Amino acid sequence: MLNPESPTSASCLDPNPQNLCFPPRKGDYIYFETPAYQPGESPKVSLARAADASMLAYARFVQQRMVLADLQGILADAGYPNVQPIGDCFVDGVNTGRGYFAFNDSHALLAFRGTEADDDNDKLTDAEIDRTPEAGALVHFGFKRYLDLVWQQVRQSIASYRANHPNQNICITGHSLGAALATLAFTRLDDPASSLITFGCPRVGNSAYCRLIEAAARTRACYRAVDNLDIVTHLPPDYFNFYAHPNVAICWLDSDHTLQYNPPKLPSDTDAIALLPSGFLTTHWMEGLPDPLPRPLADHSPVRYAQYLGQST
Cβ–Cβ contacts within 10 Å for residue 285, how many?
A: 16
CB-based contact 224:203 (threshold 8 Å) = no
What are the boundaries of each domain within the chain? Answer: 9-311
240-268: per-residue pLDDT in tens? 789 999 999 999 999 999 999 999 999 99
CB-based contact 96:150 (threshold 8 Å) = yes
167-206: per-residue pLDDT in tens? 999 999 999 999 999 999 999 999 999 999 999 999 999 9
pLDDT at 285: 64
- Mean pLDDT throughout 92-102? 97
pLDDT at 17: 95
123-175: per-residue pLDDT in tens? 999 999 999 999 999 999 999 999 999 999 999 999 999 999 999 999 999 99
265-293: per-residue pLDDT in tens? 999 999 999 999 888 887 666 677 899 99
2-46: per-residue pLDDT in tens? 999 999 999 999 999 999 999 999 999 999 999 999 999 999 999
The mean predicted confidence, pLDDT, of the chain is 96
pLDDT at 150: 98
Confidence band of 239 (pLDDT split at 50, 70, 90): confident
pLDDT at 282: 75
CATH number 3.40.50.1820 is the correct assignment for the domain at 9-311: yes
Q: Which of 12, 45, 46, 16 is nearest to 27 (CA)?
A: 12
**SS3 of the chain:** CECCCCCCHHHHHCCCHHHHHCCCCCCCECCCCCCCCCCCCCHHHHHHHHHHHHHHCCCEECCEECCHHHHHHHHHHCCCCEEEEECCCCCCCCCCCCEEEEECCCEEEEEECCCCCCCHHHHHHHHCCCEEEECCEEEEHHHHHHHHCCHHHHHHHHHHHHHHCCCCEEEEEEECHHHHHHHHHHHHHCCCCEEEEEECCCCCECHHHHHHHHHHCCCCCEEEEEECCCHHHHCCCCCCCCCECCCCEEEEECCCCCEEECCCCCCCHHHHHCCCCCCHHHHCCCCCCCCCCCHHHHCCCHHHHHHHHHHCC
pLDDT at 114: 98
54-76: per-residue pLDDT in tens? 999 999 999 999 999 999 999 99
